[in-house]
Chains A and B, each alone.
Chain A
Amino acid sequence: MIQTILFWLFSVLGIAGGLGLVLAKNPVHSALSLIVNFFSIAGLYLTLNAEFLAVIQILVYAGAIMVLFLFVITLLNLSSEPGTTTFDMKKGLAFLVSMGFALEMCYILFGPFGDKSVSGDFTYGKVEPVGKMLMTEFVFPFEMISVILIAALMGAIIVAKSYNYET
């Protein structure tokens, strides 16, 4: 019972955050809606007993990536998009394509997964089994992650650096 209430609460909040991201004119409002969405996805992870991933989601996505987005939005001092509430052909076609894809995926996935339950224990939601897996079975991707992060760091500095040509 409490599972159903929490699932509905976090799902509605998450989808409302997604709609706020797409429909808001001010980019800061979009970023804040996305933060609401990330917190509700973390709540959905908690209802699935994936506690480690819920906390990592809040730390990494809402705590680092969205802060970076807000820094860039504030740094570039972006203004709001001019509001055009006309429903032109491009928006209608985009809506049809994405909703058609969503309906088709729901129809395909209803057969195999319509009655599979997600209750029960999830041993890999806690920290210790995840740590053991990272060090034994997934050690190669774990080490490659550090290489990827160093490459991203160097790439970001090189791309965003401003060059003075008079020296």
Chain B
Amino acid sequence: MEPTAFSYLVVSILMFAIGTMGVLTRRNGIVVFMCVELMLNAVNLSLVTFSKMHDSPDGAMMVFFVMCVAAAEAVVGLAIVIALFRNKQNIEINNFNIFKW
């Protein structure tokens, strides 16, 4: 049984669902951030699948730019995590609730 496009898309969907479950469940801020990176990678996989299916450059180029933007986002997000750690000495996301009424 050759892997079809649907096989790759099922892998992408499962990784995205696991990432969503991690974002909703985990309490450590850095692990939540890593689950967001997992979701980004799942979408990258589906983009490459579609690009290969039609043999067009659009999907692969978009993956290239998504990787660069994800790197920039990881840098800024981890700087924010470091700045938050200075105040509260831990990264539990239930502690950062000053916007709650």
Residues of A within 8 A of B (CB): 3-4, 7, 11, 14-15, 18-19, 21-22, 27, 30-31, 34, 37-38, 41, 44-45, 47-50, 52-53, 56-57, 60-61, 64-65, 68-69, 72-73, 75-76, 78, 81, 90-91, 94-95, 97-99, 101-102, 105-106, 109-110, 113-125, 129-130, 133-134, 137-138, 141, 145, 148-149, 151-153, 155-157, 159-160, 162
B75 near A152 with CB under 8 A, answer: yes
Q: Which residue of A is nearest B16, CB measured?
A: A102
Q: Name the contact of A124 in the complex, choosing from B31, B34, B60 (C-beta under 8 A).
A: B60
Could you give, for residues 74-100 of chain B, a 1 whenever the CB lies within 8 Å of some chain A CB and a 0 otherwise? 111011111101100011000000000
B6 near A119 with CB under 8 A, answer: no
A78 near B91 with CB under 8 A, answer: yes
A117 near B11 with CB under 8 A, answer: no
Contacts of A97 in B (CB 8 A): 20, 24
Q: List 7 A-B contacts (CB under 8 A).
A: A34-B37, A101-B20, A117-B5, A118-B53, A124-B55, A148-B69, A152-B75
Q: Which residue of B is nearest A129, CB measured?
A: B57
How many positions in chain B have a CB within 8 Å of any CB in the partner chain? 69
Contacts of B21 in A (CB 8 A): 22, 94-95, 98-99
The 9 A-B residue pairs with the shortest CB-CB distance in the complex, in nearest-first order:
A152-B72, A102-B17, A94-B24, A156-B79, A22-B22, A160-B79, A18-B18, A7-B3, A159-B79
Contacts of B74 in A (CB 8 A): 65, 68-69
Contacts of A138 in B (CB 8 A): 57, 61, 65
Given contacts A94-B21, A145-B65, A162-B86, contact A30 B31 (CB under 8 A): yes
Given A18-B15, A113-B5, A122-B52, 11 more A-B residue pairs with CB atoms under 8 Å apart are: A37-B15, A45-B45, A60-B67, A61-B67, A69-B34, A72-B81, A106-B10, A116-B4, A124-B51, A133-B61, A149-B71
Contacts of A124 in B (CB 8 A): 51, 55-57, 60-61
Give the docked Cα–Cα distance between A153 and B63 (Å): 21
